[in-house]
Amino acid sequence: MNRHEIIKLLDCFEPQKFNYTIWILANVNDTIQNEESFIHHANFSEFFSKAEFACIASAITELFGYVRIFYSETEFMQYVLGNTKTLSKEDIIVFNFTRDGFLEGKKSLIPAFCDLYGLKYVSSNAFVISLLRNKFVYTQFLSSLNIKVPFTTCSKMITNDLFNKIKDKDLIIKNIFESASIGLDETNIINVADYDTMNSEMEKFYSKMQSDNLLIQEYIHGNECEVFVIRCGGKLYSFPPISVNINNSSIITTRISDEYDYTFSPLYECFSRQICNSIQKSAEKAADLLNIKNYARFDYRVRKNGEFFLIDIAGSPYLTRHSSVEYLFTQLLGLKYSDIFLLIAAITVTNYSHEVNCKSDNGKPLEM
């Protein structure tokens, strides 16, 4: 989808936008976490700062004039349950940016709840969102369908025979279902020559990363890039890959992620348009296989010779002012930051009209 097509879609949605009530769900630091001590909270580095969220909320408010904001999953669900008789669910669009909790299902609670109550929401469904949390499972699935990924396994699956496949190769150790950068630094890239040493190294990583099962993946030397993909009316569209230029490191470590110590540029400044187009097609195929509903981000590593590998997927990627999506819209496409959210709302409405994915047994949304 090019700039002209985006503008055409936005212009078409513009007269309709005030027909909708916008709700925003987001975990923001120093808001209500202390009031919800009964929750096993996620790493607070995954939450928005107040400044980050102010930019998002301001952009959406500028578009729609009024928004209702919820600062936790619990607050949102309690409000819906307490007002089920008076809510006009057909007119509500839920921008869900929450990411509290742990394990694979941490981002699927709100999509499942919205499906139950017939509320439109901007992300993929609960199953897809949970699947995208488990890097090992979706990597094996996509590999079996000819999407190029690095050799990937889990630490609990390592045997002597399996070790021989990764012996003397550069490997990177990551979390399986938390954000890839959590607990990550340059020492997570290893090269091990024997099985006993591998086991010894993994014991150290279990302690460091506070997990008893970790992802072991072949490390791909080269550039890192991110591809934004949307679905609109049953068709998938990818945008040009954005190169992540990491300062003083070859990977996005915890520190670099927390301090935003990176910049962006178009990948076509480093690689041919043909390679960039092939990466886009790979992202679209992966999005189709995984049944991405509205939008997602696909992350790749690209070797100097142009060989590329899918290394991560964000089912609900950050849309902050320091994200690759913001760079794509404002620097590459020449659009406004707020157009990101207008486009997401437009494709959400289009996709719900195209195929309602929230049905009861009689084929209709659940009545409240």
User: What's the pLDDT tens digit per position in 126-170?
Assistant: 999 999 999 999 999 999 999 999 999 999 999 999 999 999 999
**Residue-level pLDDT at 364:** 45
Tokens of 122: 């901007």
**Residue-level pLDDT at 355:** 61
Q: How far apart are CA 279 and CA 272, in angstroms?
A: 11
pTM of the model: 0.92
**Residue 302 near residue 308, CB atoms below 8 Å:** yes
Beta bridge partners of 135: none
Q: Count Cα neighbours of 162 within 13 Å in the Cβ-side half-sphere.
A: 13
**Residue-level pLDDT at 367:** 44
Taking residues 232-244, report their average pLDDT: 96
- What angle in degrees, to the nearest 10, is found between the helix axes of 3-13 and 338-354? 70
* Whole-number Cα distances in Å, 355 to 22, 85, 88, 236, 363: 21, 25, 20, 14, 12
| Cα dihedral: 85, 90, 319, 299 (round 10) | 110
In this predicted structure, the answer to whether residue 44 has a pLDDT above a threshold of 80 is no
**Residue-level pLDDT at 363:** 42
Taking residues 251-267, report their average pLDDT: 93
**Residue 116 near residue 142, CB atoms below 8 Å:** no
Q: How far apart are CA 66 and CA 11, in angstroms?
A: 20
**Residue-level pLDDT at 365:** 43
**Residue-level pLDDT at 42:** 57
Taking residues 338-351, report their average pLDDT: 97
Tokens of 167: 């012996």
* Whole-number Cα distances in Å, 45 to 27, 254, 260: 11, 9, 12
**Residue-level pLDDT at 368:** 36
Task: Collect all residues with Cβ–Cβ distance below 8 Å to 24 and sequence separation of at least 6.
Answer: 56, 57, 60, 67, 68, 69, 70, 95, 97
Q: How confident is the model at residue 46 (pLDDT cuts 50, 70, 90)?
A: confident
Tokens of 319: 């849309």
Taking residues 307-314, report their average pLDDT: 97
Taking residues 71-94, report their average pLDDT: 94
Q: How far apart are CA 360 and CA 368, in angstroms?
A: 12
**Residue-level pLDDT at 15:** 95
Q: How far apart are CA 4 and CA 10, in angstroms?
A: 10
